[in-house]
């Protein structure tokens, strides 16, 4: 929650970076750059970014850690984060969790299939 409060969940950063890439591609194309070379450069940059992100990743396994990640994804709502962590505990790390909108948040239903 503190991380999300301080820096957000990354969606704004992703939007800004995407807009900048589009802007720079448009400039390069207007200047006569080869579109295939631009595409190849973007794909190479993507691979480098993914490698960098993978080197920084950290596995989470405890219910508390999962709740923290889920809380960030739920815009800081600790109640939802806790409920998601409970679901992960029930279905396991490879399980599927479906979240449905409701008018109230009073119950947690876990259906194993």
In a shared domain, residues 32 and 82: no
In a shared domain, residues 76 and 112: yes
In a shared domain, residues 40 and 83: no
Predicted pLDDT at 82: 92
Q: What value does the mean pLDDT take over residues 43-50?
A: 96
In a shared domain, residues 71 and 23: no
Structure pTM? Answer: 0.56
In a shared domain, residues 68 and 43: no
Segments forming the whole domain that contains residue 76: 58-113
Q: Indicate whether 108 pLDDT > 80.
A: no
Buried b (16+ CB within 10 A) or exposed e, 38-55: eeeeeeeeeeeeeeeeee
In a shared domain, residues 52 and 70: no
In a shared domain, residues 72 and 26: no
Q: Indicate whether 19 pLDDT > 80.
A: yes
Q: What is the pLDDT of residues 60-75, one digit of tens each?
A: 889 999 999 999 888 8
């Amino acid at each position: 929650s503190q991380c999300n409060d301080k820096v957000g969940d990354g969606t704004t950063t992703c939007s800004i970076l995407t807009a900048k890439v589009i802007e720079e591609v448009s400039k390069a194309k207007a200047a006569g750059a080869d579109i295939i070379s631009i595409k190849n450069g973007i794909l190479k940059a993507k691979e480098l970014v993914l490698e960098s992100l993978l080197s920084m990743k950290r596995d989470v396994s405890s219910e508390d850690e999962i709740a923290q990640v889920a809380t960030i994804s739920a815009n800081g709502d600790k109640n939802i984060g806790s409920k998601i962590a409970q679901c992960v505990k029930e279905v396991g790390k490879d399980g599927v969790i479906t979240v449905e909108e409701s008018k109230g948040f009073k119950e947690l239903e876990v259906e194993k299939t």
